[in-house]
Amino acid sequence: MENSLLNKTFSFELQIASFDIPSSAVNPIFITGILVYFFSVLSNVTILVLIASKRSLHQPMFYILFSLPLNDLIGITAMLPRVLVDILIMKHTVNYPLCVLQGFLLHMYGGGIPFILAAMAFDRYIAICKPLRYNAIMTPLAVVGIISLAWGVDFALILVLFLLQARVRKCRSFIINVFCDNFSLLSLSCGDDLTINNVYGLAITAFMHVTTVTIQLFSYIQILVTCLMNKQSDAKSKAVNTCLAQIIAFFLFEIVALFTIMSYRFPNISSNARNACGMMIFLILPVLNPIIYGMKTKAIRTTFLRVLKKRKI
């Protein structure tokens, strides 16, 4: 009986938590969500196309930056469309394999942000603090290595997290969040000892955070020192403008992540508010990141405006 229940887990439809939404609000929420999704996709794809197609952006900084909108597309696409469909058709079920896939992609997205921002901070550190050696250090091979390391470490850590989750016997069929993640998948367990899962989850969270924040703090402190020692105001302005978008993205990620975590620590918060807070990190960053980089990165802004002018002509 136990084995048949275990085998059934991999094919049956899971019930998933839903928003408590009045029927009159379903269509407006769905339309708003669709508009947010398409805006995010359009703006992130625009940056990807600009970097890929314009020779002026074929530089190490933008090759590394390419990973950020790509990661944002993964995050918002893995989460928002399925939630919007649930809101519209009010079915609130998800197939187990698709649930695991969604959870894996969402964790890849969340882990990818700090690694990518750390890689970008390191690139700016070399460019500003060691400008004469920049081309010698940031060779094509080095850039490929940095990008591969950011994605590879993230993939390996999340893969082990989900392999540990897969070994747990599952007897329940209700996902406690409006989207699938490692925590909600573990809540399907039959009461097995989850100590290894919990310890590993905390360990990789600490590793990701400590490692990436240390790299970014070191890089930006060194950049700040270099700016203060450089008496040329033009050099200071260029350095600050180059890093400003990355610093804003870093603090935005930290604030949204902290707000999301805190929402689960207050039991009096309604389920709707808690679910909405849980979705914030997959919505706010993919929408705001392309705006931040479009406005604060001169090369991208200039290239985009040049493309618009050519099309008008």
List the single range of 24-33, 76-85, 156-165, 188-197 with lowest mean pLDDT. 188-197
The single-letter DSSP state of residue 175 is E
Helices 67-89 and 140-166: crossing angle in degrees, nearest 10, is: 30
Q: Tell me the CA distances in angstroms from 185 to 66, 156, 193, 224, one per residue in order.
A: 31, 19, 14, 44
pLDDT at 10 over 70: no
Give the 3-state secondary structure of residue 288.
helix
CA distance 297 to 62: 10
Residue 222's CATH number: 1.20.1070.10
Average pLDDT score over residue span 126-138: 90
pLDDT at 227 over 90: no
| CA count, 13 A, side-chain hemisphere, 53 | 9
The single-letter DSSP state of residue 92 is -
Q: Are 75 and 110 in contact (CB under 8 A)?
A: yes
Nearest-CA neighbor of 215 among 291, 116, 282?
116
Owning domain of residue 205: 2-312
Number of folded domains in the chain?
A: 1
Please state whether beta strands 13-16 and 93-95 pair in parallel, antiparallel, or not at all (unpaired). Answer: antiparallel
pLDDT at 5 over 70: no
Average pLDDT score over residue span 128-144: 92
pLDDT at 19 over 60: yes
Q: Tell me the CA distances in angstroms from 45 to 143, 151, 290, 296, one per residue in order.
A: 21, 19, 9, 18
Structure tokens at 266: 């207050």
Structure tokens at 285: 């960053």
Nearest-CA neighbor of 185 among 258, 112, 110, 98?
98
- How large a percentage of the chain has pLDDT more than 70? 90
pLDDT digits (tens, 9 = 90+) for 159-198: 999 999 988 888 888 888 889 999 889 988 887 788 899 9
Token match 């099309």: residue?
311
Residue 54's pLDDT is 87
- How large a percentage of the chain has pLDDT more than 90? 46
Residue 9's pLDDT is 43
Average pLDDT score over residue span 154-162: 96
- Which stretches of 17-170 are assigned E, i.e. beta strand? 93-95
Bridge partners (DSSP) listed for residue 189 = 170
Nearest-CA neighbor of 76 among 111, 125, 25, 41?
41
Residue 99's pLDDT is 92
Residue 306's pLDDT is 82
